[in-house]
Amino acid sequence: MMEISILLNGTQTATSVEPHETLLIVLRRLGLVSVRFGSDTGETGSSAVLVDGRLVNTDVMLAAQVDGHEVTTVEAFNTPDLDPIQTSFMVTGAIQSGYSTPAMILGTRALIDRNPDPSEADVRDMLSGILDRETGYVKPVEAIMRAAAVMRGDQTEPFEPAILEPMTDGSNPVDVDPSDQPPDVSYAVPRVVPSPDVPEMSVVGKPEIKVDAVRLVKGNPAFVDDFEDRNLLTAKVLRSPHAHANILDIDDSKARALPGVHAVLHYKNTPRVKYASGGQSYPNPHPHDQVSFDDKVRHVGDRVAAVAADTAEIAEEAIRLIEVTYEPLPAIFDERDALLPGAPVIHDEPDTEEIFDRERNIVHHIGANRGDVDRALAGADHVFEHTFRVHQVQPTPIEPHISVAWLDADERMVVRTATQVPFHTRRMLAPLIGRAVKDVRIIKPRIGGGFGAKQEMLIEDIAAHLAIATRRPVKLELTREEEFVSSRTRHPQTLTFKTGVNSDGMLVAQDLYVIGNTGPYGSHAYTVQTVTGLRGLSSYNCPNKRFNCDVVYTNIPVAGAYRGYGAPQAEFALEAHMEDIAHQLGLDPIEFKRRNWVKLGDELDIAPHLGERAVAEDELDEYPRVSSCGVEECMAQASRAIRWHRHADPAWRQPADRPNIRRGIGFAFCMHGTAIPFLDMGGCSMKLNDDGSFNMLIGATDLGTGADTVIGQIAAEVLGVKLDDIKVYSSDTDITPFDTGAYASSTTFISGTAAKVAAEAIRARIKERAAKMLGVDEPCTIELRDNTAWTADGRSVSLEDIALDSLHLEDQEQIMGTGSYVSPDCPPPFGAQFAEIEIDIETGQITVVKLVMAVDCGVAINPMTASGQVEGGMTQALGYAHCEEYAFDADGRMVNAELGPYKIYRADEMPELEVYLVQTMEDSGPFGAKAVAEIPKDGVAPAIRNAILNATGVAINDLPFTPERVWQALRADS
Partner 1 sequence: MSSIVAYHRPNSLGEAVELLAQSGRSILAGGTAIVPEARSRRADGVELIDLQALQLDGISETEGRLTLGAMVRLGDLATDDRAGELINDLARRELPSAMRNQATVGGTVASASPDSVLIAGLLVHDAQVEFHDGRTSSLSRVLSDGTNGAIIVAVSIDPTGSGSIVATGRTPADLPIVAAVARSTDGGPRLAITGASATVVEVDPSEPTAGLEPPSDFRGSSGYRLELADTLSQRVLKAVS
> For 177-270, where are the E strands, in sequence order?
191-193, 233-239, 245-251, 261-265
| Kind plus residue range of the DSSP H or E element containing 427 | helix 422-432
Query: Least distance in Å: CB of 547 to partner 1?
Result: 33
Per-residue x/- track, 268-307, partner 1 (CB under 8 A): ----------------------------------------
Measured CA distances, 480 to 395, 486, 537 (Å): 12, 10, 36
Q: Which is nearer to partner 1, 2 or 185 (CB)?
A: 2
Contact mark string toward partner 1, 27..46, x via CB under 8 A:
-------------xxxx-x-
End-to-end CA distance of the chain: 65
Specify the residue, 58 or 539, whose C-beta has the smaller distance to partner 1. 58
Query: Using CB under 8 A, which of 22, 108, 527, 693 touches partner 1?
Result: 22
The DSSP secondary-structure symbol of 819 reads E
Closest to partner 1 by CB, 174 vs 258, is 258
Give min distance, CB of 59 to partner 1, in A: 8
Q: How far is the CB of 255 from partner 1 (least distance, A)?
A: 13
Give, as ranges, the residues between 366 and 425 that touch partner 1 (CB under 8 A).
none
* Residues in region 954-973 near partner 1 by CB under 8 A: 962-964, 967
- Quote the least distance from Cβ 964 to partner 1, whole Å: 5
- Helix (H/G/I), strand (E/B), else coil: 647: helix
- Smallest gap from Cβ 838 to partner 1, in A, equals 11
Q: At what angle do helices 707-719 and 752-774 cross, to 10 degrees?
A: 30
CA-based nearest residue to 132, from 393, 394, 396? 396
Instruction: Lay out the sheet containing 245-251: strands in order across.
Output: 296-297, 245-251, 323-328
CA separation for the pair 125, 174 (Å, rounded): 40
64/587 with CB nearer partner 1: 64
| Chain center to CA of 780 | 41
Task: Give 21 or 717: the residue with its C-beta nearer to partner 1.
Answer: 21
Q: What is the DSSP string of 142-175?
A: HHHHHHHHHHHT-------PEEPPPSS-SSS--P
| Strand-pair partners of 687 | 695, 816
Q: Is 945 among the residues that bind partner 1 (CB under 8 A)?
A: no
Contacts of 680 (CB under 8 A, 6+ apart): 281, 740, 744, 746, 750, 822, 823
At closest approach, how far in Å is the CB of 887 from partner 1?
3
Question: Least Å distance between CB 115 and partner 1?
Answer: 10
Over the window 509 to 538, marking each residue x when it contacts partner 1 by CB under 8 A and - when it does not, the resulting string is ------------------------------
Does 314 engage in binding with partner 1 (CB under 8 A)?
yes
State the pairing for strand pair 788-790/545-552: unpaired
Of residues 108 and 284, the one with the C-beta less far from partner 1: 108
443's CB contacts (< 8 A; 6+ apart) are 414, 415, 416, 417, 422, 732, 733
d(CA 945, CA 511): 22
Nearer to partner 1, 2 or 163 (CB): 2
Instruction: Give 878 or 931: the residue with its C-beta nearer to partner 1.
Output: 878
Q: Taking the complex as a whole, how short is the minimal distance between the CB of residue 910 and partner 1, in angstroms?
A: 9
Q: Between residues 63 and 917, which has the closer beta carbon with respect to partner 1?
A: 63
Site string for partner 1, 67-106 (x = CB under 8 A): x-----------------------------------x---
d(Cα 740, Cα 673) in Å, to the nearest integer?
16
Residue 471 interacting with partner 1 (CB under 8 A) = no
Q: Which stretch of DSSP H or E encloses residue 58?
A: none
Q: Which is nearer to partner 1, 17 or 366 (CB)?
A: 17
Question: In residues, how long is the chain?
Answer: 974
Rounded-to-integer distance, Cα 955 and Cα 584, Å: 12
Q: What is the DSSP string of 352-406?
A: ----SBGGGTEEEEEEEEES-HHHHHHH-SEEEEEEEEE-------SS--EEEEE
**Per-residue contact flags (x/-) with partner 1 for residues 633 to 652, judged by CB under 8 A:** --------------------
To the nearest whole angstrom, how small is the minimum distance from the Cβ of residue 208 to partner 1?
Answer: 32
Output 293 or 905, the one with its CB closest to partner 1: 905
CB under 8 Å, gap of 24 or more: what pairs does 334-341 form? 334/517, 334/554, 335/492, 335/493, 335/494, 335/515, 335/516, 335/517, 335/552, 335/554, 336/494, 336/515, 337/554, 338/362, 338/517, 338/552, 338/553, 338/554, 339/515, 339/550, 339/552
For partner 1, the closer of residues 55 and 459 by Cβ is: 55
- What letter represents residue 580's amino acid? D
In the complex, least distance from residue 395 CB atom to partner 1, rounded to whole angstroms: 18
DSSP code string of 431-484: HHTT--GGGEEEE--B-S--TTTTSB--SHHHHHHHHHHHTS-EEEE--HHHHH
| Residue selected from 20, 336, 375, 785 as contacting partner 1 according to rule CB under 8 A | 20
Nearest approach, Cβ of residue 46 and partner 1 (Å):
10
Q: How far apart are CA 286 and CA 527, in angstroms?
A: 11
For partner 1, the closer CB: 64 or 955: 64
CA distance 899 to 39: 8
Q: For partner 1, give the closer residue by CB, 54 or 471.
A: 54
Q: What's phi and psi for 622, nearest 5 deg? A: -150, 140
Q: Which amino acid is at 941?
A: A
What contacts 513, CB < 8 A, 6 or more positions away?
495, 496, 498, 548, 549
CB of 719 to partner 1, least distance (A): 45
Our CB check for partner 1 shows the closer of 529 and 962 to be 962
Contact mark string toward partner 1, 114..133, x via CB under 8 A: -----------xxxxxx---
Region near partner 1 per CB under 8 A, out of 313-321, 394-402, 482-490, 694-702: 313-321
Specify burial of residue 60 (Cβ count, 10 A radius: 0-12, 13-18, 19+).
Answer: middle
- Please count the residues of this chain forming the interface with partner 1, following the rule CB under 8 A: 56
Closest of 532, 581, 521, 602 to residue 555, by C-alpha: 521
Question: Which residues from 141-200 bind partner 1, rule CB under 8 A?
Answer: none
**Restricting to residues 873-932, which ones interact with partner 1 according to CB under 8 A?**
882-883, 885, 887, 895-896, 900, 903, 905-906, 908-909
7/64 with CB nearer partner 1: 64
Q: Which stretch binds partner 1 (CB under 8 A): 49-57, 270-278, 355-363, 397-405?
A: 49-57
State how far the Cα of 855 lies from the Cα of 930, in Å rounded to an integer. 10
Q: How far apart are CA 46 and CA 221, in angstroms?
A: 15
Among 142, 317, 335, 460, binds partner 1 (CB under 8 A): 317
Region near partner 1 per CB under 8 A, out of 417-425, 428-436, 791-799, 842-850:
842-850
Residue among 810 and 909 whose Cβ is closer to partner 1: 909
- Given 171, 181, 253, 843, the residue binding partner 1 (CB under 8 A): 843
In the complex, least distance from residue 464 CB atom to partner 1, rounded to whole angstroms: 27
- Under rule CB under 8 A, which residues in 602-631 are in contact with partner 1? none
At position 861, the amino acid (one-letter code) is I
Q: Which of 8, 26, 35, 61 binds partner 1 (CB under 8 A)?
A: 61
Residue number with CB closer to partner 1 (369 or 845):
845
Which residues contact partner 1 (rule: CB under 8 A)? 2, 18-20, 22, 40-43, 45, 48, 54-57, 59-62, 64-65, 67, 103, 107, 125-130, 313-314, 317, 320, 840, 842-845, 847, 882-883, 885, 887, 895-896, 900, 903, 905-906, 908-909, 962-964, 967
